[in-house]
A = this chain, B = another copy of it.
Amino acid sequence: MELRGIHHIGVAVEDLDEAIATYERLFQAVLEHRQVLDSQGVEAAAVLVGESRVELLAPTGSDTPVGRFLARRGPGMHHVAYATDDVAEALGHLRAAGAELVDEVPRPGLFGLEVAFIHPDAVHGVLTEVVSGG
């Protein structure tokens, strides 16, 4: 398994338009993608801060994973995603290393990427994603 580095950090927000505007104003961020993913109850925007990507995540309703996160913890950092060439191979390594997985097999994520999540209990409270691409 080879992880290339941080693909993005995911941030839970209440209002996507406001959050995009904040990142543009404070950090001169550039909007890369924006997408509603009904199956995951989320509207997301990828913004670039310099060469790095921040995924802003707003819930489409309160009874969604991000909606429940906001109710429990408030807005803030939600997950970190590491890029890899082969998500399935990375999952095999993580399983062999004893990590509890949320996704046993890769699944379609935002922006056409293949993703899988590792349970935060396996990573000292950090919800961690592996994602295809650079």
Contacts and interface: CB of A to CB of B under 8 A. Distances in A.
Interface residues of A, number: 44
Contacts of A36: none
Contact of A99 (B26, B77, B126): B26
B9 A76 contact: no
Contact of A22 (B74, B82, B124): B124
A96 B83 CA distance: 35
Given A50-B2, A51-B4, A80 B82 contact: no
Interface of A: 1-6, 9, 11-14, 18-19, 22, 25-28, 49-52, 54, 73-80, 82-83, 94, 97-99, 118, 120, 122-126
